[in-house]
Amino acid sequence: QFKELNSKQFLPKTPLVSDLSYKAPKLEPVNAQSSVFIGKSLRWWEKSLHPNMIEIHSAQHLVDSLLRAGDKLVIVDFYSPGCGGCKALHPKICQLAEMNPDTTFLKVNYEEQKPMSYALRVHVLPFFRFYRGAEGRVCSFSCTNATIKKFKDALAKHGTDRCSLGPTKGLDESELLELASIGLISRDLLPSSTKDDGDKVGDLVLNENVVSNNGLKEGNAMVMA
């Protein structure tokens, strides 16, 4: 009796491993990538973006995006992570992008796209260029929170529905030529009338686009490029 009682008293409360009816609890896989993403805080220029706000990664990407827009209004937003005016204006631009879903906002990081910005003669930040269908560039300007009315007026003027006559223009021929001269886009994109002039003006374009370290302006203040 003593042996029988002892054996019952010390029986294990959990099934033995050898018991075929025992099933180990199922472990859910851990998505390491999502964990890293959750832990990563967004930088100011990555916050509050909307589907119609597209980051431009190259000159070719910019050219293609403008040509694909058709009759839609396209606003090219040149900014820099270190530009205080750009950071202050960013929430307003995101709000306007949300209010105008049919308008495409192309964001160009000046620090990552310096050669392209030089070729397009962008030396002041924040800076905006408006493009519309066959008209090509309809206006360009720099503005801040204090002068945001300039942006809103341009958006109201050029954002109205209309049909352009002719193919979408995109960048000016001179701008395409400058980008091709420094190898940022294919020369096949150049109009036939300008292809022969490419070699002649290549050196001139490079010389004109040399900007000193103090050449970029933020409003009235000089910013180190």
Please state, as a whole number, how many other Cβ atoms lie within 10 Å of the Cβ of residue 180: 22
Could you tell me the two tokens for 41?
A: 């805080």
Dist CA 64 CA 106 (whole Å): 11
Find tokens 């018991």 and name the residue: 19
Quote the Cα angle for 222-60-77, to 5°.
40
SS3 category, 98 = helix
Q: Cis omega (within 30 of 0) on the bond before 126?
A: yes
Catalytic residue at 86?
yes
Dist CA 143 CA 129 (whole Å): 11
Catalytic residue at 139?
no
The set of catalytic residues is 83, 86
